[in-house]
Amino acid sequence: MRTEKIGLRKLLRDVLSHDGMESGLRRDISRAVSEPDPLIAWEKTLEILQSLNRSGKLTWQGVIEKNGERYLRFRDPESGNVFSLMEPPAVKAEVLPCLPRGFVRKEDAHRIETLFTSVATCRSEDELGGVLRRMLATIREMVSADFGAIHFIEDSVRAVIEKVTDGSPEVPGRFDPVLTDRWVVSEGFCVHVPSLGRAGDLSRYSGDGAFSSVVVMPLKSKGKVYGLLEVYSRAERHFTTDDLGFLALLALQAAGMIRNAEHLESLIFKDPLTHVYNRGYLEDQLEREIERYKRTNEPVAFLMVDVDNFKEVNTRFGHPVGDVVLSVIGSLLEDKVRQIDIVARYGGDEFGVILPDTIGEHAVVTAERLRSVIEGYDFATRVPDLGDMKMTISLGGAICPDDAVTKENLIESADRALAEAERAGKNRAVFFGVSSAGEGA
């Protein structure tokens, strides 16, 4: 076995000479070899190296620094040789495979074990948030970082951003979404910027010069990226190869913890029959939206929804058929509202819908859209036992602050409007204080 420094194009040519190279990869390598722009050639090469690493034609060996230069090391399994590929000076950010370190220092092992087993006792979002904050504090301490953040990109994880700063200056949101979406979210690579001050446009993420280097790791578990782990340092080239491996290990563990929390959320906050949110979650979120109105003056609308003639479904076809009907209606309601809206089963054949930042006229439009969708849906495609029986819903709506400024009063107002809709003949939407205008109004 020999170790040698090698240029970008020579490495690609050597790989190109391997037998059994797929035609598509051979074509990509040939294009990278002939690319005149070194930065474009480097980006193409990183994509190729990722593919070669996955297929086993090259094995990633890490990064070394020598005389101020950085080298990416690869091993050729066919020859056993190790190649050191020098990073081009103009490259602003390293995009590297996430290779979790296979060992942990004895003094850290117990702390890590305690940290990642504590999620098993979580029974609420607040408790999970506390675990995540402790995790960030531990990570920062172990790699001597000055700032840590977790950014969730999955809506199923209800916390939006958890940060631990210890008074550090704030950095401007998530680190370069274009770069991290391309490499961290889509490809599962980590991004390391060793010198933010010399990284051109990326310097805007230095927190007005407070931070000099950053690492961004994917929080990925079972093939799904839940978010990003970011750690910053005030020192240039602060994070070593060992640090990157250690951060990859912790990010992998954290992602597993978040995946478990997603399952936990489903158990605690979801209705097991319809798979929309349950009443407890609905009331909690409605309380939060009303509190948000008091801070921001942004209105919130609330709809109570009742399935018309549902008792007849259970009587004629049995409760199992009724259960499927409820499940289908819950799914249709959820599909026809915005991502920020919340649909929940309130109880029995009733649903509740929270429409944040929604004025009365917009709520009326949404209510009519939901009514129309249910009326026009062919339930026989999902529930053949119903035959030609049509399903419809009645809706009652109320607006905060127009109709109420407390959770209890807002629900009561919507419930009274719903009762008016049912008295007026069902299959209609009525808002509190507004007379029904007839079927489908």
Q: Supply the CATH number for residue 225's domain.
A: 3.30.450.40
Per-residue pLDDT reduced to its tens digit, 200-241: 778 888 877 788 899 999 988 878 888 888 999 989 889 888
Full domain range(s) for residue 32: 3-87
Same domain, residue pair 187 and 46: no
Same domain, residue pair 335 and 413: yes
Please name which of 200, 201, 178, 204 lies closest in space to residue 191, comparing C-alpha atoms.
178
Same domain, residue pair 230 and 286: no
Crossing angle between the packed helical segments 407-423 and 279-296, to the nearest 10 degrees: 110
Please name which of 99, 95, 61, 62 lies closest in space to residue 81, comparing C-alpha atoms.
61
Residue 16 forms part of a structural domain: yes
Same domain, residue pair 254 and 118: yes
DSSP at 206: S
Residue 19 forms part of a structural domain: yes
Per-residue pLDDT reduced to its tens digit, 117-140: 555 455 455 566 677 777 778 788
Q: Which of 269, 300, 316 is the last residue of a domain?
A: 269
Tell me the two tokens of residue 433.
């204080």
Same domain, residue pair 335 and 212: no
Same domain, residue pair 378 and 347: yes
Instruction: Give me the number of domains the chain comprises.
Output: 3
Q: Which of 269, 290, 325 is the last residue of a domain?
A: 269
Per-residue pLDDT reduced to its tens digit, 307-320: 999 999 999 999 99
pTM for the model: 0.49
Same domain, residue pair 292 and 261: no
Same domain, residue pair 51 and 151: no
Instruction: Return the sign of the alpha-carbon dihedral for residues 33, 36, 39, 43.
Output: negative
Same domain, residue pair 262 and 312: no
Same domain, residue pair 252 and 367: no
CA distance 9 to 85: 10
Same domain, residue pair 290 and 424: yes
Give pLDDT, residue 302. Answer: 98
Per-residue pLDDT reduced to its tens digit, 281-329: 899 889 989 998 998 899 999 999 999 999 999 999 999 999 999 999 9
Same domain, residue pair 83 and 138: no
The domain that holds 333 is classified in CATH as 3.30.70.270
CA distances from 344 to 7, 47, 116, 423 (A): 59, 44, 31, 24
